[in-house]
Amino acid sequence: MSYNQTPPAGPKFVGPPFGPPPVQPGGKPKWARKRIAIPVKLLVFFFGVGVGSSGNAEAEKTSVSSKGEPQPTVTVTKTAPAEPAQSGAAKTAGDSKPAADKPKKAIVPDFVGMGLQSAQDKAQEAGFHGLTSHDALGRERMQAFDRNWKVCSQNVAAGTSRTTDTDLDFGAVKLAEDCPAKDEKPPTVEGGKMPNFAGKSVKAARSALDSGVSLTVEDALPDDRWVLVESNWQVCTQEPAAGASLNGQPVKLKAVKFDESCP
């Protein structure tokens, strides 16, 4: 067998992977990349997203040649008109806050003898809104239901001209009670001496003493009742006695209800 035989002819590789590509009729290379024409609307979409929602709008225009090739894009920019500058005086006037209105003056009405709720309503009608009340008998009871109390005194005399920011304080008692000649003040510790608690409410006595004092309250009657609502109980006896020095020693009180007599 001869090893010099020529291999059979096969299909030739046309078009070199290297070197210049062959030229087809018309002057274009055979391997030349084809250009794809992109629709104008698609270009406008990619280049103009968000146009029209901001102050500076941009309009995109793209033209296509007769051969289907895209031409350079032309961008037109619109600028929002500038706001007119404010003068220094006008800007300062706009930033400054108006001064608070000064309280007006009004005549304080006469509230004595009125129900506490009615007195408060009348005070508000006159322009007074800083309203408080206290127990005129000095028992330190709270005026939980204003309609159950009546006014015995007022801290500002009737007919007085005062500014409407003045606080009005009413001394009051319950409807079934008599007003005292003058408001009774709760007892206080003065000079480190034991006050006289006789006839005062247990609540007032407790309030007068230091919060750290050990206080015991017992029923003065042999019924051995619990003293629950201390403002409804009055002191009959006390230890130490009135005028004694208070040096942190325990205090003991015996009391009865206000509608009862001490033994």
Torsion-angle region of 193 (φ positive above 0: left; ψ -120 to 50: alpha; else: beta)? beta
Q: Which pLDDT score is estimated for 219?
A: 98
Query: Can you tell me the distance from the alpha carbon of 187 to that of 189, in angstroms, rounded to the nearest whole number?
Result: 7
> Where in the chain are the domains?
40-75, 105-174, 202-257
| Global pTM value | 0.60
Point out which residues pair with 239 in neighbouring strands: 252
Q: What is the pLDDT of residues 189-223, one digit of tens each?
A: 999 999 999 999 999 999 999 999 999 999 999 99
- Domain 105-174 architecture: 2-Layer Sandwich (3.30)
Q: Which pLDDT score is estimated for 102?
A: 81
| 17-21, 55-59, 83-87, 167-171: the lowest-pLDDT one | 55-59
Return mean pLDDT, the chain.
79
Peptide bond just before 240 cis, omega within 30 deg: yes
Q: Which pLDDT score is estimated for 103?
A: 83
CA distances 200 to 50, 76, 197, Å, are 82, 92, 5
